[in-house]
Amino acid sequence: MRIILAAPRGFCAGVNMAIESLEKAVALYGTPIYVYHEIVHNRWVVEHFKDKGVVFVDNLEEVPESSYLLFSAHGISPQIRQQSEARKLKTIDATCPLVTKVHLEAIRFARDGYTILLIGHAGHDEVIGTMGEAPDVFRLVQTVEDAATIQIQVENLDRLAYLTQTTLSVTETADIIARLKERFPRIVAPKKEDICYATQNRQEAVRTLSDQADVLLVVGSHNSSNSRRLAELGKSQNVPSYLIDGPDDIDLAWFQGSETVLITAGASAPESVVQECVDMLRWRFGGSVELQSVREEQIRFTLPTLPTLLHDPLRGETA
């Protein structure tokens, strides 16, 4: 078996920042520390922190007043910030800066009287947070069909704009934008495209390297949008493609042993899990492993400011 490791793959700068923030908070404050939604969409990462005593919640009523609360990489709505303040929670904002950029664009467009078409997936944490900035002005567009049929009541078509979720398929999003521009020639674009660099780079690697592959393995969880897009991209290149959480999900029936297997990982998948998958395939089929890189990534984000430790006389320690 020939195994090609695609690069770039795995953790992006936003995921690194969120995970490092939570690791630092646990070391500094101890547990329990609460996280609103999953820190990132990856089962291994979430289980790692659960084992340390981190508690993941979907409702702030589950968080005791005055506790430490970290906001996940996907961002939150202003309503969640207000609820956190009302409950006197000590918050750490680990929102990816590239998601924050989309939020700021939404605020600017809403302030200037625009109706905003948000290209994204209904129910995704990032979409919920972005639309929460100005719920009355957003309309969600998920497909090219949506772009072709959506009905909008706008008095001034110069006040129509679009934004996108950061983890979408580059090609599908381009098709949706093209259809919107066809229907609404004066629609306003964000100053800089919203799909993040890491999503684009990982898709570029799969697109570039898949012509060498008989099978594509994408390491990532099924609730990870960018990981699902990688598997869909492989299938669109006519390569049998499988989204796997880890080596236990690998079905040996997918292989005869003489294939070229391309392995990549979504932006929230740990490299340690990738290596476990490689080790399993090499143990079963032998063969070679090679790295093929299509682009270098040097981006790193500064960690958010953590709440100041205060002495808690009831606990006899700092808190």
> What is the reported pLDDT for 76?
96
Q: Which of 38, 126, 133, 232 is catalytic?
A: 126
Does some domain include residue 275? yes
* 136 secondary structure, DSSP code: G
Dihedral over alpha carbons 193, 199, 201, 207 (to 10 degrees): -110
pLDDT at position 310 over 70:
no
Whether residue 190 lies inside any domain: the answer is no
**211 and 141 assigned to the same domain:** no
Does residue 176 sit in the same domain as residue 136? yes
Residue 252 in any domain: the answer is yes
Q: What is the mean pLDDT of residues 134-160?
A: 90
Dist. CA 72–CA 36, nearest whole Å: 6
Q: How many domains does the chain have?
A: 3
CA nearest neighbour of 199 among 162, 165, 176: 165
The answer to whether residue 318 sits within a structural domain is no
Whether 182 is catalytic is: no
Q: Is the pLDDT of residue 53 over 90?
A: yes
Q: Is the pLDDT of residue 154 over 80?
A: no
Q: Could you tell me if residue 192 is inside a domain?
A: no
CATH code, 104: 3.40.1010.20
CA distance 89 to 169: 36
Mark whether 82 and 164 lie in a shared domain. no
Q: Which residues contact 86 (CB under 8 A, 6 or more apart)?
A: none
Query: Do 179 and 205 fall into the same domain?
Result: no
Q: What's the rounded Cα separation, in Å, for the pair 195 and 218?
A: 19
Give yes or no for a contact between 73 and 100, defined as CB atoms under 8 angstroms apart.
Answer: no
Enclosing domain of residue 156: 98-183
Q: Is pLDDT above 80 for 318?
A: no
Nearest C-alpha neighbor of 138 from the set 105, 168, 158, 162:
162
Give the single-character DSSP code of 135.
G
Contact present, 140 and 131 (Cβ < 8 Å)? yes
- Residue 207 clears pLDDT 80, i.e. is over it: yes
Yes or no: say if 28 and 315 are a contact pair by the CB < 8 Å rule.
Answer: no
Mean pLDDT of 90-116: 96
**pLDDT at position 105:** 97
Task: Indicate the burial class of 88 (C-beta count within 10 angstroms; 0-12, 13-18, 19 or more).
Answer: exposed
Q: Among all chains, which residue has been given the structure tokens 């990532």?
A: 220
In a domain, 167, yes or no: yes
pLDDT tens for each residue of 158-194: 899 999 999 999 999 999 999 999 999 999 999 888 9
Instruction: For 1-24, write each residue's pLDDT tens digit.
Output: 999 999 999 999 999 999 999 999
pLDDT at residue 43, rounded to an integer: 96
Q: Is the pTM of this model over 0.85?
A: yes
User: Domain ends where: 183, 206, 235?
Assistant: 183
Number of Cβ atoms within 10 Å of the Cβ of 318: 12
